[in-house]
Amino acid sequence: MKGRAWLGLLAVAGAALLPLLLPVFQVTLLTNVAIAALTVVGLVLLTGVSGLTSFGQAAFMGVGAYTTAVLTTQAGWNPWLTLVAGMGVTSAVAAILGLATLRMQGHYLPLATIAWGISLYYVFGNSPQLGGFTGVRGIPPISLFGLTFSDPRAFAYLALLFLGLGIIGAQFLLSSRTGRALRALRTGTVVAEAFGAPTFRLRVQVFVLSALLASVAGWLYAHQQRFVNPTPFGLNVGIEYLFMAVLGGAGHIWGAVAGSAILILLREGLQDALPRLLGTGANFETVVLGVLIILVLQFAPRGLWALMERLIPAGPPRLLPHPAALPAPTLPSPGTPVLEVDHAVKRFGGLSAVQDVSFTVNSGEIVGLIGPNGAGKSTLFNLITGVNPATSGMVRILGRDVTRLPARTIHRLGVARTFQHVRLFPELSLLENAMMGGYARGRAGMAQSLLHLERREEAALQQAALAALQRVGLQDRAADRAGNLALGQQRLLEIARALTAEPALLLLDEPAAGLRYGEKAELSALLRRLREEGMTILIVEHDMDLVMNLVDRLVVMNSGQPLAQGTPAEVRANAAVREAYLGADVEVNA
């Protein structure tokens, strides 16, 4: 059995035995850890995985707690019904706040979460219906089939059960196409959008999911304490939950448990030890915990759980059995115009990066786009793929005007690309990186992923990704982390990711950069095979030996303007091209 499987068994055994073996006070601490960890699991998904920093997680916990407090004490509802009601109220509040704030970038989003976190805190404290700052008392205990969870040991089992369900659902989510798209959000939206992911919708969904986990934790907290007031749901507690995530490892689900346990248990121990040691009742434990966080940020920026994972490797990804093949897209007939660029212009303020460029790429062709550095080649790629829409002119894919369409929609028309600067997920395996390229070929959403109902589709995506890795010669390293590859192999992995999409048009931005001579020969052979299979390729490349011996036609740009078009032989003979390259041999230097 693998090391991490043993850890899972140990966690299950601990959850089964600790409430029986520990004294009642420590059982209560265990329950507090479970409730906090459930809240922090949501924060890991939101902040550590998706890159959306939030200081307002405690406020959503308060929504769940106050909903059950009011409905059970004032309306006489069963606590299990108030769990559903709290999740409904929290979903509505989170969706409204998410739609209003999640388009913000940089430091504006964290500041917005601080603003609405403070606002919700004062809503709780200044609403007479919610008991004001005095709070709501007399919350009834939870009962199920005649069993009342008023005993601390029984309640600990309930809290651990909900924590276990939250961890399992989060792990299922991260092993799915939706989970890979969420990881892509952390490095920006360009890669996720380039492979068909609706990034804003995913942001709102993970924001609501994170809030729901906090809401369930608030429901548990209210029925554990039998009393709520605004204090546990303020901004300072939200910051504390963020500290728990950072301490344990914001990118790891089990880091939420580790961080919550360390912070709560250490604070409890310090509250007892420091007054005896220092002879004062001042809250010096806050100072000690602050120093601990600083040390972790300095020496273990990925959290303490990441250090443990180094000792216990994850092992190769599990391959799913008996996959159903994904539908194979139909490639256009040979000679059909796949890409048409018509008088494209792109201006950034007063700078014209692309000026009046027109060309066509037909099905089954390899067309090279060349020019000196700064010629506008990558900018033109971004126009074609929807990253930066053209200022004027038109871009058509298979006859459809895509000039103003977003990148995710253009990708779904059959366009896949690589990037001038490699954009991979270094902490994921080669297989998982390649599977990201097949996002648009799947259909399972967040709910199916949380319930683990997307396994057949996931198996098919695995096989498509393995086939793509085999095409570029990386199949033997499918289980390795992408961050361990050399630059040339990372570029091959980017091509494999694009091939997993089975595109009609493949755009390659300097794919040979960093490749050795033999790897370039293999790349050239691969691109020829793809052309024979009917794939259309537009390639930007500075290695003129590779380009001149590979492409059917060339488009030459200089200072954002079209300079020449034609076969390699015609471009070699073009005086304007040779002058643009300062008289150098175009076969050697571009």
- For 429, the token pair is 């395996």
Q: DSSP characters for 430-497?
A: HHHHHHHTTGGG----HHHHHTT--HHHHHHHHHHHHHHHHHTT-GGGTTSBGGGS-HHHHHHHHHHH
Amino acid 587: pLDDT: 44
For residue 370, give the nearest of 159, 157, 545, 116 by alpha carbon. Answer: 545
> For the CA atoms of the chain, what is the radius of gyration?
28
Q: Higher-confidence residue: 336 or 580?
A: 336
For residue 228, give the nearest of 140, 162, 148, 134 by alpha carbon. Answer: 134
Q: Alpha carbon of 248 to those of 51, 263, 421, 456, 528: distances in Å? A: 16, 9, 31, 33, 48
pLDDT digits (tens, 9 = 90+) for 301-351: 888 888 887 777 666 677 777 677 787 788 888 889 999 999 999 998 878
Amino acid 2: pLDDT: 55
Q: Residue with structure tokens 């200081």? A: 55
Q: Higher-confidence residue: 87 or 186?
A: 87
Amino acid 590: pLDDT: 37
Amino acid 493: pLDDT: 95
Average confidence score pLDDT of the chain:
90
Q: What domains sit in the chain, N to C, each tagged with a CATH number?
A: 3-233 (no CATH), 337-580 (3.40.50.300)
Amino acid 393: pLDDT: 94
The model's pTM: 0.91
Over range 124-150, report the average pLDDT.
92
- For 212, the token pair is 């729901």
Q: Is residue 219 within 8 Å of residue 206, measured between CB atoms? A: no
Q: What is the rounded distance in angstroms from the CA atom of residue 207 to the CA atom of residue 91? A: 9
Confidence of residue 358 (pLDDT cuts 50, 70, 90): very high
Does residue 277 register a pLDDT over 50? yes
Over range 58-71, report the average pLDDT.
97
Confidence of residue 420 (pLDDT cuts 50, 70, 90): confident
H/E stretch holding 128 reads none
Over range 76-86, report the average pLDDT.
96
Amino acid 275: pLDDT: 79
Burial of 267 (0-12, 13-18, 19+ CB in 10 A): middle
* Segment among 29-43, 166-180, 201-215, 310-324 with least mean pLDDT: 310-324
Q: DSSP characters for 3-32?
A: HHHHHHHHHHHHHHHHHHHS-HHHHHHHHH
Amino acid 149: pLDDT: 92
Amino acid 299: pLDDT: 86
- For 162, the token pair is 């909900």
Instruction: Tell which phi-psi region holds residue 536, choosing left (phi > 0), alpha (psi between -120 and 50) or beta.
Output: beta
